[in-house]
Amino acid sequence: MNGSAAPRRTGPGGLFLLGSIVVSLLAASSAPTPLYATYADAWHFSPITTTVVFGVYAIAVLVSLLVFGRVSDHLGRRPVLLTALALQAVALAVLATAQGVDALLLGRVLQGVSTGGAVGALGAAMLDVDRHRGAVTNAAAPGIGTGSGALLSGVLVQYAPAPTHLVYLLLAGVFAVQGAAVLRMPETVRRTPGARAALVPRMAVPSGLWGTVLAAAPILFATWALAGFYGSLGPALARQLSGSDSSVVAGLGLFLLTVAATVSAAVLGRVSPRGAMVLGIAVLMAATLAALAAVGARSAPGFFGSTVVAGIGFGAGFQGGLRTVVSRAEPRERAGLMSVLYVVSYLGMGVPSVVAGVLVVHGGGLVPTARLYMWAVLALSAAALLGLLLTSRSPRSDGTSPTDGPVGRASAPGDAAHRDAAAVSSGCR
């Protein structure tokens, strides 16, 4: 595609393809979760190693988001997606043939670079295709991928041969099919100069959207911190509470969380972004208290039940925060802005999880660490809710609040920004 060629419009099939790639990437990222116990038994490593493996993935995603997050705004969405899918295939090959922790770490780093390089372009491309339904799909697809990957891997580990190989080979086949489809997909943006400059890491938030991003960031951090709990400590905690060593049980918590989050994101697509954020954080706090009670009572049904409720809060809070920001971005701002939002999210997922891994070994064991983690999530959620309420009530010099509209852009009731925000709310119908 040359610099003068205009982007071609793609239909609903393009949105489905892009959403499916998000699902596949996040499924691949969560596929190792039920396998950590298998790896630990075979290679004799501690819970600290497990959380380090979990954490290096998140760090790789963060670095990749900062370095490659804006490249697709200049090179186009397709070249970035094809490169990310090829790198993901290499990562899966490394994981499928891993013989030790070093290979496992390398595979996870490659997965993180691939995912971080792709999610900004994918999120922006979905908004290119349909600004309204694209925002809802952006919020729902990660949950579908994360949950399905963990459950699929758990089932294969429990019932299929070659559990440390098969799930990766199946995913590699999916990525090959998606890569072929991306080759045929119309480009959605015009190629422009500046790709090399875009590699310089920076938080690509347009000056008029900083207030909106700062209002949404605490919600994104808190919800993904909860996802980090279910991805790092959740499998071992589920096994201990249930008294089962089943790999399906190990992956069930993350699956329930993300399925509930996906349904919540879709059902609440017509609720205002601010209303969704307030509801999500309130539900998240209630679910965290319920999970604390379940762990105290050693109740597996209570733990899994609270997980479903937490998923509802996750879906509401995440999609509310996402919609608050992305509906106000111009096409050339979308990839970088989506990358910033995912940086916040992956910081929330990765940092508490690595700290928790250290505390499991040096701070008293699994259950005390799980309680401490949940109290931390509760505190983060309360702070996010308080911050949201305070920023919503604080008038700005232009008469708007950070969640009403961006600084320096028209925000009259009939303008495009408000029409877009309202349309996003009906995009899932």
Conformational region of residue 44, where left means phi above 0, alpha means psi within -120 to 50, and beta covers everything else: left
All residues at 6 or more sequence positions from 161 whose CB lies less than 8 Å from its CB, including other chains: none
Q: Report yes or no on whether pTM surpasses 0.75.
A: no
Tell me the pLDDT tens digit for each residue of 288-330.
999 999 999 999 999 999 999 999 999 898 888 888 787 777 7
Residue 274 lies inside a defined structural domain of this protein: yes
Contact 98, 42 (CB under 8 A): no
Is 407:397 a contact under the CB 8 Å cutoff? Answer: no
**Which are the contacts of 412, defined by CB distance < 8 A and separation ≥ 6?**
418
Q: Is residue 418 part of a domain?
A: no
Question: Residue 381: which CATH number?
Answer: 1.20.1250.20
| Residue 59: inside a domain | yes
Domain presence at residue 413: no
Distance CA 336, CA 326 (A): 11
Domain interval for residue 171: 12-185+206-406
Predicted confidence band of residue 392 (pLDDT cuts 50, 70, 90): low
Within-domain flag for 199: no
Q: Please indicate, yes or no, if residue 195 is contained in any of the structural domains.
A: no
Number of H helices, E strands in the chain: 17, 0
Minimum mean pLDDT range among 54-63, 97-106, 329-338, 409-418: 409-418
Residue 123 is predicted with a pLDDT of 80
Domain count, the chain: 1
d(Cα 408, Cα 429) in Å, to the nearest integer?
32
Within a domain: 104: yes
User: Which tens digits make up the pLDDT trace of 225-281?
Assistant: 888 888 778 888 888 999 988 878 877 888 898 889 888 887 887 788 888 889 999
Alpha helices for 185-270 (secondary structure H):
195-198, 210-232, 234-242, 247-267
In a domain, 369, yes or no: yes
Cα-Cα-Cα-Cα dihedral of 381, 382, 383, 385, to 10°?
80
CB 275 within 8 A of CB 281: no
Q: Judge whether residue 410 has pLDDT over 70.
A: no
